[in-house]
Amino acid sequence: MGLGPVWRLRRRQEAAAEAPEEKASPGWIELKAAVPACTACKLHQGRTQTVFGVGDEQADWLLVGEAPGAEEDRLGEPFVGQAGRLLDSMLAAIGLSRRDNVYICNVLKCRPPGNRNPEPDEVAKCTPFLLRQIELIGPKLIVAMGRFAAQTLLDTDASIASLRGRVHRYAGLPLVVTYHPAYLLRNLPDKAKAWEDLVFARRTMQAL
Ligand code: SF4
C-alpha cells in the first residue's frame, strides 16, 4: 500500500531538512553588501573603503582595471581624477559613457598599500567578486586596461604590446587589451595606440 498524502508531505519535509543547504548566488544587493564587509585578504587592513565598480549594470561593455589607487580609495569610485577624465573622453569619442552603456571596475576591490602590485593570493581571494559582477552584468565584451589586469585575467606574463590587437577570452567572453589611462598620462605617445585599441574593441563588438 502506498503512503498517504500526510506521510508523503512529511517525508519531503524531512528530505529537505537533511539536504545540504544550497547557497543562492548573490544578487547586486548582496554583492554590494559583501564587498565592503570583506576581510578575506590583508588589503582590508589599509583601505579607506572598498571600490566596487560603477556604471550601467546591464552594459555590453565591461572595462576592468587593476586595483584602486589613492583617489579611488578616498572616493570609492574607480577611475577618477585625471586618468578617469582621460578614460571618459576616450569613451565619449566612440559614443560610450560610464553612465549609460559601460561598467567599470577593478580586479581588486581594495587599494594595495603604496600602489604596489597586487599579490597572487589577493587576486585569488577577490576574483569571485569580479566573476559574479560579470555574471550579473552579462557584458558582451571585456576590455582589460593595463598590464596587470591583462596578465591577471589572461593568466599570462606576456607584455601588453604582444596582447594588443587580438581577441582573447575570459569567463567565456571576448576580451581585448589596452593600456591603463594612468599609464597613458605618463606616456602620451601611446595614446594613439590606446585609441587604436578602442577602435579595435568597437569593431570586435560590432562583429559579435
Ligand atoms: Fe576582500 Fe578583495 Fe578587499 Fe581582499 S581586496 S579584502 S578579497 S574585497
Q: What is the pLDDT of residues 4-44, one digit of tens each?
A: 444 444 444 444 444 444 567 899 999 999 999 999 999 99
> pLDDT of 66-75, one tens digit each?
999 999 999 9
Strands 141-145 and 173-178: parallel
Q: Percent of the chain at pLDDT above 70?
A: 89
Torsion 63-173-29-43 (CA) sign:
negative
Beta pairing, strands 141-145 & 168-170: unpaired
Cell of 12: 519531503
Mutate to test the pocket of ligand 1, among 126, 131, 132 (most ligand atoms within 8 A of CB): 126
Q: Using a 6 Å cutoff on CB, does residue 38 contact ligand 1?
A: yes
Residue 38 C-alpha to ligand 1 middle, in angstroms?
Answer: 6
Amino acid letter, 9 = L
pLDDT at 56 (0 to 100): 96
Output the pLDDT for position 135: 96
What confidence score (pLDDT) does residue 23 get?
Answer: 65
Distance CA(83)–CA(61), nearest Å, equals 19
Span 97-120, mean pLDDT? 93
- Residue 24: all three cell numbers together: 543562492
Residue 123 beta carbon below 6 angstroms from any ligand 1 atom: no
Mutation test of ligand 1: which of 32, 44, 148 has the most ligand atoms closer than 8 Å to its C-beta? 44
Q: Is 122 in the pocket of ligand 1 (CB under 6 A)?
A: yes
| pLDDT for 100 beyond 80 | yes
Strand order in the sheet with 61-65: 54-55, 102-106, 61-65, 141-145, 173-178, 168-170
CA separation (Å) from 150 to 106, 144, 176, 177?
Answer: 11, 5, 9, 6
Per-residue pLDDT band for 143 (boundaries 50, 70, 90) equals very high
Asked whether 198 lines ligand 1 (CB < 6 A), one says no
Q: Which residues contact 72 (CB under 8 A, 6 or more apart)?
A: 51, 78, 79, 80, 106, 111
Residue 105: enclosing H or E segment and its boundaries? strand 102-106
